[in-house]
Structure 1
Amino acid sequence: MPPMSKPIMLLVDGSSYLYRAYHAMPDLRGPGGVPTGAVHGMVAMMKRLREQIAAEHAVCVFDAKGPTFRDAWYPEYKAQRAPMPDALREQIAPIHEVVALLGWPILEVPGIEADDAIGTLARVAAAAGHAVVVSTGDKDLAQLVTDDVTLINTMSNESLDIAGVIAKFGVPPDRIIDYLTLMGDTVDNVPGVEKVGPKTAAKWIAEYGSLDGVIASADKIKGAAGENLRKALDWLPTARRLVTVVQDCDLDGHVPQWPSLDALALRPVDQEGLQAFYQRNGFKTWLKELGGGGKAAAPVSEDMFAAPADSTAPAAAPDDSPRHYDTILDWALFDQWFTKLSAAPLVALDTETDSLDPMRAKIVGISFAVKAGEAAYIPLRHDGPDAPVQLPIDEVLARLKPWLEDATAAKLGQNLKYDTHVFANHGIALRGVQHDTMLQSYVLEAHKSHGLGALGERHLGRAGLSYEDLCGKGVHQIPFAQVDVARAAQYSGEDSEMCVALHQQLWPQIEADAGLTRVYRDIEMPTSALLARIERIGVLIDAPRLQAQSHELGQRLLALEQEAYEIAGQPFNLGSPKQIGEILFTKLGLPVVKKTATGAPSTDEEVLEKLSLDYPLPAKILETRGLAKLKSTYTDKLPLMINPATGRVHTNYAQAVAVTGRLSSNEPNLQNIPIRTAEGRRVREAFVAPPGHLIVSADYSQIELRIMAHISEDPGLLRAFGEGVDVHKATASEVFNTPLAEVTTEQRRYAKTINFGLIYGMGAFGLAQSLGIEQKAARDYIDLYFNRFAGVKHYMDSTKARAAELGYVETLFGRRIYLPEIKGGNGPRKAGAERQSINAPMQGTAADLIKLAMIAVQAALDEQGKATRIVMQVHDELVFEVPEAELDWVKAEVPRLMAGVAALKVPLLAEVGVGANWDQAH
């Protein structure tokens, strides 16, 4: 923060604030049904900011409508930015109104961006003797930081002075413009140097001193980065101009008595006006606060605002209630807390570790909380220079182990799947996990972020310390074990007690809805526990086989390269878009499909795919890219990811990512191994069974089509599945009015494309592209389909209408999939949300079914003491490692169990394959 001896000028980036408020908040509605989420968030942030910063002068700066001088410099500036959502646009006027009622001067200058007005005000205020605080989340404004100008980010509790800018970006404030120029800005559609990110930009500036130094040394910089830099040299001056915040704007006529700042003094809050505003918008808690003489309201109140039935968890007013965190350094305090843990009906816990890899992470400390506002931290392996003497880790864990492994001792946490692994690394089987705030948030509002900081900000009015606050970032980051114990206790204790406070807000909302309760209690929580088991088992990889494949791919890539050279008539760099463009469009004269932001012909994948239909060289380039990606992502990388302690690869299944409920595999991603090419399928050959075992794959057959039949209740689809006939042939028979036995292969292909296309909301244009036919013919096919399958048409129309009314769709089991753009989006985004509304209930139901199948199969394996293990889950497929003696049981029981997890109007069917490796079993 700037020196407090100077008067403070507080400049708020209002445009940044209102977007962040809109995206951080649920879709709240006032008594008249008008959107109020962004208004609510804006009020909370502006109130908190005024309380935190003792400023005498302040102004909230907003972008004005219409173009600015940058649009004249570069017509493509911000061209890719999506229009403001209608639901946010409706809230602009009330946001301006309430900010003024809260005592803030407002500035909005036509033709000038908010950043430039802030830059100008910061320069003038600093010159007039003010300490300037700029509140923003925009990295571009870091270029304004000086000894007198500081940035703060209220969402992340981050404060950036000169040293802070250097620590965060790796360059000083006076080199931020150079840094941004090299990287470009995708949000504002300002190209930089292709594939140059923060690390490279900072490295170049450190090495060559400045952007001008980088440009002067462009010929010396080697590799693809150097080549991309040289391609961008003509553009960089324009990029630098676009990212530079102008600090000499003429604000005369917009700031009274400019350049005097007297008119920007903070004013008293308009209590009477605020009362009317809060009443009009249904902000009942803040109404009570005004009526109570300004005392702080309770952090959360169930009547906080008037909200419709589709609202997710309310955002809380800032919570400044006192909190206390003990640091346990002796056995007396340990015993006191252990008594609390043993007696509490529910305990929140959190581990601090030395690694993010759950299979290798070891405990540095543990925190517990039994109620909001109170927690304890046990440091166990802190080794910083001022670290105190700590209790012995082995003895602490030995004393905690019976309680941690007690299934009747209910436990709560944030992403406890990770902590389950951590305790397992110390020989402790964590049991009794009853609640997880990450999963509660996911079930309530899957379209939001689920990190603890975001949840705290959204529901409790506080984000807490971040890991970066304690440990720093990048090369300057220190291990958690070196963090000061007092700070670590605050950080970890806060995590635990925030879980308690969040659980108190989120769980009642879930419990009040039978569908959400079922999804959380019967699907997500058991799935989390099962995923920990699957991740821990891992899958056996044949590394030598992958290495052999990698060598073969390398040879094939060399051959493809030579073939490409022959077609082109010269050697060229197949990894260089510039050289590819020169060969394709200048030398060979191929048609230009589209252009990049700088006006050069594009050579992206979409362009190459279109060109490859008629020309051989783009096809060779595409094949090269596909094989190179396969080699680098799988055949080269997978052997390196084998855990030396287990000899297996252990993926992480992210449970709270996809809004539909699908799992996401990462590090490594086992769900995206390409199977459309022979080379891609061969990668699956390396997923093998140990001696005496086999790999079994159990896959739901046509699951989303079966769900469509169930939901739409279309007689034709129900009959096809009920009779067990080929559904695509049955569809072709209806659409083409052909007897089932006479349906041709081509007709079946068309019907299959229509079946799956309609599931994903495909229209005539998409179908025409998929089938390679005229758009009118595609429209005729769709009309024929809907004529024969009227139930599907009715389902699609009614689902879109209901989604538009509620803002979400539901799976058969009650999972809600929110579609924010279906109400507030523009034309294309709203159309996309409508397409998603058709598919999401089916994809979400399929996700629920495979999770229920996992749970049912594992329960049967445990109950019967089988040694068969689930080793992977890939979309609608379960992969098992099966002892040969149990093969018959698995082949008979697993399909039966998977088919029996739900009773639909059509039979569920799971098909089983067996082999020595995954490819053979699939």
Structure 2
Amino acid sequence: MILVQRLSDLPDLSATTHWLYDSETSGLSPYHGDRIAGIAVSPWSSDGEAPEYYVPIRHRLHDDGCENLPVENVLRWIGDAARDPKKTLIGHGLKYDVNMLRADGILTEAKVIDSLPYAHVVKGDRLNYELDRLTKIYVPDFKHTYLEQLESWFAQNQPSKKTSVGKTGRNYSLAPIELMGNYACEDLQATRLVLRELKKQELWGKIPNFGLPSFSAAELLVHEMELVLTLADMEWNGAQLGEMHCLQLRDKANEEIEQLFDELYKLAGRSFHVMSWKEMWLAFESAGGVVLFWTKPEFDEQGRRRGKQKDQQFTTDRSKSTGRPCWNSVAIMRYLEFFRRAGNTKAFEFVRIYREASQRQRLVSTNLDVYLQKRDAAGRIHGQFHQHRVVTGRLSSTDPNEENVAVVKGNADLKALEKVLGAKDDNALSRQLRKLFVAERGHMIVSLDLSQIEYRAAAFMANDLVLLNKYRNDPKTDYHQATSDIIGCDRDLSKTLNFLSLYGGGPTALAAKLTASGIPTTVEGAKQILNRMFQARPSLRAFLDRMSESARKGYVQNCFGRRCPIPQGMEYIACNYVVQGSCGDLLRRALTRFRREIKEHKWPIKMFLPVHDEIVFQVPTELVAELVPELVKIMCYCPWFGVPILSDAEVGSNWGEVIPFSEWVETRKAA
């Protein structure tokens, strides 16, 4: 490690185009005032050693004789390289470093090579791609010596604590400069060695792929690296929170929770601790309820747990159970259906009220409180988007998880409850969450959602000529209605069939699903229904069989060349992984296209949230009518895809009250 103590000793970043880069910071959030404390750089070399430099700029000084360099001079030095599109920054988890640079006014235009998504593409069989974990896998002889020393220093001088954004973090600016420099440069060494090993891995070339233009692993990696900068932009943009509405919603929910608890106490005839499963059990029996217990798990010869369906995991016979009552969503639906049929009004009301109270508590703690805690000074929420945490290639979100916001029509649990109760609850708390994401003054929220893309992709990859002809004749064809017309059943049944057939469900799952929805069905009857569908659509059956067979080699490959690992014995999920992965990569490509187009045209719009097959923007109100058609074209662009891709465009002042774009245009004209 070379500790730079004079500006004249800064390495010449123009000497080479590829640099390893890492920054040490005062905290985890550039949106809450955390800043770069020191910068580590090293020229990339594909073999041999290269010097590593550490440049301190905002460290607290200790009695070790080390000094900080002037902040402005160092930022100018690193900014020239980061803004140069001919340069390439190499690191691990660069999305974080890019936004730390941006907090100091440096917008990264250089290309990036990030070993984190690189490892996910090359070996996508794990969820943890932290640098120390990858080092143990690819460079087992490498020792993180200074990591241990740093941990020891912090244990003595700054115990781990919660930061302003609720995560456990450390202020690295407090650590001694030399120790911090050694630690940072050790990370550069680890990144260099891991990336070298990843580059040695055999990458698959172009192979025949559903009759499509084939994509190699190398091409997939290029798109993944561009996505790093795209997601960094989206995290920086953040989502505007309607703070007053959020506070009012939280206060109202807390009041309702207290009222619901009081109702539970009346039904039980006494007060009790609702969050204690033992006390809930006794109170439930006091209200006339019959408790369902978790069954003891059974295992097959290979040690795999038997039983995949939640409604097969509990029993009323305590001797066959774990002894612990079950209160999950499936059990609650079972309780409600049973007590309604039995006419046990008291027990029915007890379960209904408990479900409402627990749902409100969960939404307050996991959504409303978190949004208020995570917002920055401008009221924006900056979630983290991850390329590597889902094996299929779907994106995920944390801190906060913005993908768990229920759609306006309600989540599955709410819809199941409303079916039992026979009434829709338009004021349910889960239906209010999207309304908290608002547009800034003079702007509108624009939501683009790919229409039935998973089913369209499945029809295309299966070469399902029956469905493909329907799509070619009418691009707006409803997949579920088309299935209904083909096999002669109602749309609800065809929707259930389509879902289960693509995502690994068999006759047993179909029978359970139909029975739970009020249509008593035996396994044999469900088998006949599935056979009828596959006889009408033989290419779909052949596709499912091909995917299961392909999964026996340990993985399946989606349209874009991404390999998704399949655990042994779980070949039934192969089709799910291929379809989900293909749609996930389709959305990833759309995100990078949007970034390029926004940058090229200098559109004053912000792309801030990807949710499953949906992307959410903020657009100036006066440009909505002009830009939305252009955004839809970009969203749907995939000329080699064998079915028309459609996107629903909706516009509104908040995400929860958007209306179709055509309707919004007519409303503006009328005004």
Q: TM-score range by the shorter chain?
A: 0.7 to 0.9
CA distance in 1, matches of 2:623, 2:551: 46
| In the alignment, structure 1 residue 470 sits paired with structure 2 residue 150 | yes
| In the alignment, structure 1 residue 427 sits paired with structure 2 residue 76 | no
TM-score (normalised: structure 2): 0.81
CA distance in 2, matches of 1:809, 1:343: 43
| In the alignment, structure 1 residue 460 sits paired with structure 2 residue 139 | yes
What is the CA distance between 1:405 and its match in structure 2?
Answer: 1.6
Contact map agreement 1:420 1:430 (CA 8 A) in 2? yes
Contact map agreement 1:609 1:618 (CA 8 A) in 2? no
Counterpart residue type for residue 489 of structure 1: G
What is the CA distance between 1:384 and its match in structure 2?
Answer: 5.1
Residue in structure 1 matched with residue 63 of structure 2 by the alignment: 386
Residue in structure 1 matched with residue 482 of structure 2 by the alignment: 730
Residue in structure 1 matched with residue 494 of structure 2 by the alignment: 751
What is the CA distance between 1:596 and its match in structure 2?
Answer: 7.8
- The superposition leaves residues 231-274 of structure 1 with CA deviations (integer Å, 9 ceiling, x where unpaired) of xxxxxxxxxxxxxxxxxxxxxxxxxxxxxxxxxxxxxxxxxxxx
Q: Superposed, which structure 2 residues align to 1:292-441 within 5 Å?
A: 325-334=1-10, 338-339=11-12, 341-359=13-31, 360-370=33-43, 371=45, 373=49, 374-383=51-60, 385-387=62-64, 388-441=66-119
Residue in structure 1 matched with residue 213 of structure 2 by the alignment: none
Matched residue SS, 2:397? strand
CA distance in 2, matches of 1:625, 1:902: 47
| In the alignment, structure 1 residue 660 sits paired with structure 2 residue 408 | no
Residue in structure 2 matched with residue 648 of structure 1 by the alignment: 380
Counterpart residue type for residue 405 of structure 1: R
What is the CA distance between 1:494 and its match in structure 2?
Answer: 1.6
| In the alignment, structure 1 residue 850 sits paired with structure 2 residue 550 | no
Counterpart residue type for residue 624 of structure 2: L
Contact map agreement 1:541 1:686 (CA 8 A) in 2? yes
Residue in structure 1 matched with residue 618 of structure 2 by the alignment: 881
CA distance in 2, matches of 1:361, 1:546: 26
Residue in structure 1 matched with residue 211 of structure 2 by the alignment: none
Counterpart residue type for residue 609 of structure 1: M
State which drifts further: 479-488 or 696-705: 479-488
Residue in structure 1 matched with residue 186 of structure 2 by the alignment: 494
CA distance in 2, matches of 1:759, 1:447: 22
Contact map agreement 1:595 1:602 (CA 8 A) in 2? no
Matched residue SS, 1:794? helix
State which drifts further: 366-375 or 759-768: 366-375
Residue in structure 1 matched with residue 468 of structure 2 by the alignment: 718
Structure 2: give runs of 5+ residues left out of the alignment. Answer: 161-169, 207-215, 298-320, 340-347, 415-427, 660-671
State which drifts further: 508-517 or 617-626: 508-517
Q: 1:854 to 1:902 in 2, by over 3 A?
A: farther
Higher relative contact order (CA 8 A, sep 6+): 2
CA distance in 2, matches of 1:758, 1:835: 10
Residue in structure 1 matched with residue 248 of structure 2 by the alignment: 548
Contact map agreement 1:761 1:835 (CA 8 A) in 2? yes
Contact map agreement 2:86 2:111 (CA 8 A) in 1? no
What is the CA distance between 1:910 and its match in structure 2?
Answer: 0.7
TM-score (normalised: structure 1): 0.59
What is the CA distance between 1:528 and its match in structure 2?
Answer: 1.2
CA distance in 2, matches of 1:540, 1:500: 38
Counterpart residue type for residue 657 of structure 1: R
* Alignment counterpart, residue 572 of structure 1, candidates 263, 266, 272: 272
- The superposition leaves residues 47-88 of structure 1 with CA deviations (integer Å, 9 ceiling, x where unpaired) of xxxxxxxxxxxxxxxxxxxxxxxxxxxxxxxxxxxxxxxxxx
| In the alignment, structure 1 residue 890 sits paired with structure 2 residue 627 | yes
Q: Give the alignment's Cα RMSD to 1 decimal.
A: 2.3
Matched residue SS, 2:17? coil
- The superposition leaves residues 457-495 of structure 1 with CA deviations (integer Å, 9 ceiling, x where unpaired) of 211222524756413477734632233333322211121
Matched residue SS, 1:572? coil
* Alignment counterpart, residue 197 of structure 2, candidates 505, 508, 514: 505
Residue in structure 2 matched with residue 813 of structure 1 by the alignment: 560
Ranges of 4+ aligned residues in structure 1 off by more than 6 Å: none
What is the CA distance between 1:589 and its match in structure 2?
Answer: 5.0
Contact map agreement 1:764 1:778 (CA 8 A) in 2? yes
* Alignment counterpart, residue 905 of structure 1, candidates 627, 636, 642: 642
Matched residue SS, 2:430? helix
What is the CA distance between 1:511 and its match in structure 2?
Answer: 6.1
CA distance in 2, matches of 1:626, 1:463: 47
Identity level (%): 25
What is the CA distance between 1:389 and its match in structure 2?
Answer: 2.2
* Greater Rg by CA: 1
CA distance in 2, matches of 1:610, 1:500: 55
- The superposition leaves residues 154-205 of structure 1 with CA deviations (integer Å, 9 ceiling, x where unpaired) of xxxxxxxxxxxxxxxxxxxxxxxxxxxxxxxxxxxxxxxxxxxxxxxxxxxx
Q: Superposed, which structure 2 residues align to 1:551-700 within 5 Å?
A: 551-585=251-285, 588-594=288-294, 599-605=322-328, 606-615=330-339, 616=348, 617-644=350-377, 646-675=378-407, 676=410, 677=414, 678-700=428-450
State which drifts further: 780-789 or 605-614: 605-614
- The superposition leaves residues 270-329 of structure 1 with CA deviations (integer Å, 9 ceiling, x where unpaired) of xxxxxxxxxxxxxxxxxxxxxxxxxxxxxxxxxxxxxxxxxxxxxxxxxxxxxxx21212
CA distance in 1, matches of 2:137, 2:195: 13
Structure 1: give runs of 5+ residues left out of the alignment. Answer: 1-324, 737-742, 823-829
- The superposition leaves residues 897-917 of structure 1 with CA deviations (integer Å, 9 ceiling, x where unpaired) of 222134222111111011111
CA distance in 1, matches of 2:353, 2:54: 59
CA distance in 2, matches of 1:538, 1:864: 21
- The superposition leaves residues 509-562 of structure 1 with CA deviations (integer Å, 9 ceiling, x where unpaired) of 47663521121102x112111111111111111111111112222232233223
Residue in structure 1 matched with residue 664 of structure 2 by the alignment: none
Q: Superposed, which structure 2 residues align to 1:20-35 within 5 Å?
A: none
For these two proteins, the number of residue pairs brought into alignment is 572
CA distance in 2, matches of 1:558, 1:357: 35
- The superposition leaves residues 10-65 of structure 1 with CA deviations (integer Å, 9 ceiling, x where unpaired) of xxxxxxxxxxxxxxxxxxxxxxxxxxxxxxxxxxxxxxxxxxxxxxxxxxxxxxxx
Contact map agreement 2:445 2:617 (CA 8 A) in 1? yes
* Alignment counterpart, residue 918 of structure 1, candidates 634, 655, 659: 655
Q: 1:624 to 1:769 in 2, by over 3 A?
A: farther
Contact map agreement 2:444 2:619 (CA 8 A) in 1? yes
Q: 1:864 to 1:399 in 2, by over 3 A?
A: closer
Residue in structure 1 matched with residue 310 of structure 2 by the alignment: none
Contact map agreement 2:61 2:67 (CA 8 A) in 1? no
State which drifts further: 415-424 or 447-456: 447-456
Contact map agreement 1:328 1:378 (CA 8 A) in 2? yes
CA distance in 2, matches of 1:527, 1:510: 23
Counterpart residue type for residue 604 of structure 1: W
State which drifts further: 904-913 or 725-734: 725-734
Contact map agreement 1:731 1:751 (CA 8 A) in 2? yes
* Alignment counterpart, residue 130 of structure 2, candidates 427, 451, 464: 451
CA distance in 2, matches of 1:590, 1:451: 47
Contact map agreement 1:853 1:901 (CA 8 A) in 2? no
Residue in structure 2 matched with residue 867 of structure 1 by the alignment: 604
Counterpart residue type for residue 323 of structure 2: A
